[in-house]
Structure formats: structure tokens, C-alpha cells
Structure 1
Amino acid sequence: MAKHEDQYITQISTSITVKGDIIGESDVRIAGTIIGTINIAGDLIIEKTGVVEGEVKVNNATIAGTVKGNIECVEKLTLESTSKFTGNIKTKQLIIENGAYFQGGCVMPSNETLL
């Protein structure tokens, strides 16, 4: 059974601020502010207006907004041209678009060490 495109996506809109942890299995799209830990089995999208302050652990992440904290992606992290990232990164694949801001360190482990 194919899932509907938006059926399993949690969305935090621009007018919302969450102080606390987000833990789950589904994909998350953030246009608002999260202050706390994000630990999801799905993918994370941080829109241009999105702000995350805290630790992040996800499958894949695409960041167009602001992140202050460390991130661990099982597969791939994309920092889009509008992103501002301050913290450490652990991922298999890292894409940094021209114009993105990144301050921190990066570890790209082999398949065996990330699992």
C-alpha cells in the first residue's frame, strides 16, 4: 500500500514554538521554532523560517533555516544556500550549497561505524 504524500508528515508552522523533545517514526517539516531534542526515524526538513536549538538525530535532513546544535544523519545532510548551521555533523553524505553558513566539525564515518 503506497502512503499518501503528506500522510505521515508532522508539520510545525511558522507561528509555533515547541520547547521540548520530538521523538517519532515519521518525517518532520519545521517552519517554526524547536528548542529541544529531535530524534526521529524519518526525514527532517527545516524550512527557511525554521529554527532548531538542540540535538538532532534523523535519517536524512535538509536544512534551509537555522540550526544551533549537533546533528547526526544516518544517510545524508543537505545544507541549502539559505541555511545557517552552528554545531557538529555526523553523516555519511554531506551536501553544502553555495551561500550556506557552517561553523563546526564534521565526521563522515564508514557504513560500519554509523550503524
Structure 2
Amino acid sequence: MFNKGEEKKSVAEMVNSSNVIAKETSIKGDIVTQGNIRIEGEVDGTLSSKTKIVIGESARLIGNINTKEAEIAGNVEGEVRCSEILFLKRTAVINGNILTKKLVIENGAVFNGDCKMTENVQTSTKGEINTVSLKNEKSKSEKEVAAG
């Protein structure tokens, strides 16, 4: 199974592997990984990791995040669930709710949504959380009032 000179990787080494979605890459669909993942491009779907998710400054995510730890410097439209710690860098823009155990926000970060900090944040698997849909439309009654 392995060539001469190749070492077998332990399960722990494979789980700690890193995945990168490059700046010029656009993905539509859910991403589930056991290891770390860094997004620099665009993703339209849910991101799930057992370890850490990094959303780079150039990244845009339309979907939810489910992870142990996250660091966000880019744009996220959706719910963010971290069972441990969430870092929002100064360039982060979050439009959606946050559920986390610990939260660190740098000066300049933008967050529009509700935040709940609790010891028991449960990250869920694919399909268990509804994506936050933000629309800047007036309701029917507001339109009727505006119309007169």
C-alpha cells in the first residue's frame, strides 16, 4: 500500500491536515472536513470542521459555519457556531447569528445579528441549521403605508 521510504500517517496527523480554497476559487456546495480549512475564495454552502475554519480577508461565504474554532477576516452571510472560540478580525463582516463559547472581536469588525455565548454550543452536521437569509425588502404592509 505504501512505497518504500513512505511513512504511514497516523489518524491524528490526517485529522490535523489543512485544506485551502484559493482566492480565485468559487465553490457551490457544502464542505465537511475533519481537519483545518482556510477559505480565501468564495463558497456558497455550509462549512463544517472538527477543528478550525479560517475565513481569509478576501473570502466570501454564503452559508453556515459549524466548527470548534473559527477565525474570520472576510465576509460571512449565515450562522456561525463555534464550540470553543470565535475570532473576528478587524476586516470581518458577519451578517447572521453567532453561537459560541468564547468571542474575541477586533476594533473595526462588523457584526449584524444576534449573539449567544454559552458553554454548550453544539455544532451540527449538514442540513441541521437553516441558512440566514438577509433581504432588504419592505414588507407588504410597509409598502402599502408608503404607497399611501
Match of 2:33 among 17, 24, 32: 24
1:31-79 deviations in Å (ceiling 9; x for gaps): 0001001111010111100111101101100000000000100100011
Match of 1:114 among 86, 111, 121: 121
- For residues 60 and 50 of structure 1, the distance between their equivalents in structure 2, rounded to whole angstroms, comes to 17
- For residues 101 and 121 of structure 2, the distance between their equivalents in structure 1, rounded to whole angstroms, comes to 8
Q: How does 1:1-115 map to 2 (within 5 A)?
A: 3=13, 8-110=17-119, 113-115=120-122
- Tell me how many residue pairs correspond in the alignment: 111
- For residues 99 and 38 of structure 1, the distance between their equivalents in structure 2, rounded to whole angstroms, comes to 24
- For residues 102 and 87 of structure 1, the distance between their equivalents in structure 2, rounded to whole angstroms, comes to 8
Deviation of 1:114 (Å)? 2.5
- For residues 114 and 45 of structure 1, the distance between their equivalents in structure 2, rounded to whole angstroms, comes to 19
- For residues 46 and 12 of structure 1, the distance between their equivalents in structure 2, rounded to whole angstroms, comes to 10
Runs of 5+ in structure 2 lacking a partner?
Answer: 1-9, 123-148
Give the alignment's Cα RMSD to 1 decimal. Answer: 1.7
TM norm structure 2 = 0.71
Query: Percent of counterpart pairs with the same letter?
Result: 35
Q: Which residue of 1 aligns with 2:139?
A: none
Deviation of 1:11 (Å)? 0.1
Runs of 5+ in structure 1 lacking a partner?
Answer: none
Higher helix share: 2
TM norm structure 1 = 0.90
Larger CA Rg, structure 1 vs 2: 2
Q: Deviation above 2 Å: which 4+ runs of structure 1?
A: none
Deviation of 1:100 (Å)? 0.4
User: Secondary structure of the equivalent of 2:24?
Assistant: coil
